[in-house]
Amino acid sequence: MKQYWIFKSEPNEYSISDLEKDGITCWSGIRNYQARNYLRDEVKKNDSVLFYHSSCKNIGIFGLAKVCKSFYPDPTQFDPKSDYFDPKSKLDSPRWGCVDIKFIKKLKVPLSKKSLEQYRELQYLPLLKKGQRLSILPIEKNEFDFILSLI
């Protein structure tokens, strides 16, 4: 069954413009167990993704993507030169994984978090709950469809 997600990224690290240029990217560097579990257990090929810029001046939804490859071991965990290197992770028992996502669309006008907060239809959106810091968040189809109706 198709699912819907918000993937958050700091634009100085990887932005929707980077994804547009690359076409497809490995969504790697996830080092939170709950986010890893979403990637491993629930995120599947062809799921829809809202690409969200976080930890910047203009936070919000900046584009659309699609999962094009399901969970596999994150190569950055094995690379000592990577910021995401994990010396406890072993080739025969990796701790971290990633998925590949494909660029679909860059929004002409991003949807700011502040603008999303004004809609009653999004009152249960995990992204808008206090203390929600996960970089991967599930959303309901009706929430996804409503957000699409705003763009």
The pLDDT of residue 1 is 86
Mean pLDDT score of the chain: 94
From the list 68, 76, 55, the residue with the least C-alpha distance to 100 is 68
Q: What is the pTM of this model?
A: 0.93
4-150: CATH topology: ph1033 like fold (3.10.590)
Gap between the Cα atoms of 50 and 68, Å rounded: 14
Encode pLDDT of 35-78 as tens digits. 999 999 999 999 999 999 988 888 899 999 999 999 999 999 99
- Tens digit of pLDDT for each residue in 72-115? 999 999 999 999 999 999 999 999 999 999 999 999 999 999 99
Q: How many CA atoms lie within 13 A of 16 on its CB side?
A: 24
Q: Over 80: is that where the pLDDT of 133 sits?
A: no
**Residue given tokens 């560097």 in the structure block:** 29
Nearest Cα residue to 75 out of 93, 41, 92, 98: 98
Identity of residue 147: I
